[in-house]
Amino acid sequence: MKQRQLSIYTLLAFLLSCVILIQPTQVLAKKKLRKIVLDAGHGGRDPGCHGAYSYEKDITLAVSKKVGKMIQDQYKDIKVAYTREYDWYPELKERTNFANQEKGDLFISIHVNSTPKRNSPVRGTLVLVCGPTRVDEKEAAIGENANNFEGGEDVLDPNDPMTPIIIAQYSQAFLTQSIVVGAKINDVFASQGRVTEGLRQQSLQVLASSAMPGVLVEIGYLNNTEEEAYLNTEEGQMECAKAIFEGIKFYKEESEKEPVRVIEDR
């Protein structure tokens, strides 16, 4: 099983390092991670799910701030932008508009899960990436925010018939990059001894409308009494933040490697 996981990581890292545009002589330069957008789910009038004594909005905000501090403590060259830094509720579109306006290189949305049943035995983490039914929305966001990408204003010419193909390639590249981040976060959760539900695709607006790679992380079940207690401790929140940070760290290291160059045989 460990060998299979290792091979998946190797493949994902390779795909991340060799995102090629249509022309065989064009290769994307290595991507420097400059800004990360952290989105603490819910807030204000929308508390999210609840347990016996706590609300999702408070836990997501606490974990988001811990992730941001970890990033800023280790990487002085990376800026962190928060969709909210206190108890208020930005609409979903406000969150993605903010991420796009900030020209984020990576979007991380933090949530806490729940089930309809009270005092549920269900527990575990879950990492989500953008689902296939919102590809059009993702591509529209990429097209509308072409100026966010280095050279995007030249590459994404609306009068060029190649533009839709290039936009689709950006979308696929972002999905691959999201999987790299998400798979690592899931792996770290597992190494911490957490139950994990793995990595899945799900068609979520907050991921589809952001013109960048992104993941939504469910850090546990709030209606599970043990997980609620864990998520309300400093240790539990720090471990959740650490898993997310390690995913970001892994993605940074892989995305900033020199790209694989494919030489055309003429």
**E-assigned strand segments in the chain:** 35-40, 79-82, 106-113, 125-130, 196-202, 214-221
186 has a pLDDT exceeding 60: yes
* Confidence category of residue 266, pLDDT binned at 50, 70, 90: low
Mean per-residue pLDDT for 3-23? 45
**Window from 6-15, 130-139, 222-231, 246-255 with minimum mean pLDDT:** 6-15
Higher per-residue confidence, 217 vs 15? 217
The fraction of the chain above a pLDDT of 70, given in percent, is: 83
Q: How many CA atoms lie within 13 A of 74 on its CB side?
A: 11
Nearest to 214 by CA among 168, 166, 251, 181: 181
- Domain-wise residue ranges, the chain: 31-255
CA angle 26, 255, 210 (to 5 degrees): 90
In the prediction, which pLDDT does 162 show?
87
Mean pLDDT of 15-39: 60
pLDDT at res. 101: 97
Tokens of 104: 């984020």
Please write the tens of the pLDDT for every residue from 92-116: 999 999 999 999 999 999 999 999 9
Distance CA 130, CA 75 (A): 27
Q: Is the pLDDT of residue 24 over 70?
A: no
Q: Are 82 and 254 in contact (CB under 8 A)?
A: no
User: What is the arithmetic mean of pLDDT over 50-70?
Assistant: 98
The pLDDT-based confidence of 176 (bands split at 50, 70, 90) is: very high
Lowest mean pLDDT among 15-19, 40-44, 116-120: 15-19
Tell me the per-residue pLDDT of 141-175, one tens digit each, with 9 for 90 and over: 999 998 888 766 666 777 888 889 989 999 999 99
Q: Using one digit for the tens of pLDDT, what is the confidence trace for 199-246? A: 999 999 999 999 999 999 999 999 999 999 999 999 999 999 999 999
* Confidence band of 74 (pLDDT split at 50, 70, 90): very high
Place of tokens 């390779």: 14
CATH architecture of 31-255: 3-Layer(aba) Sandwich (3.40)
Amino acid 157: pLDDT:
75
| CA 111/CA 48 separation, integer angstroms | 9
Flag whether pLDDT at 263 surpasses 70.
Answer: no
Instruction: Quote the radius of gyration of the chain (alpha carbons, Å).
Output: 19
**Which position has the higher pLDDT, 47 or 146?**
47
Distance from C-alpha of 86 to C-alpha of 66, rounded to nearest angstrom: 13
Mean pLDDT over all residues of the chain?
88
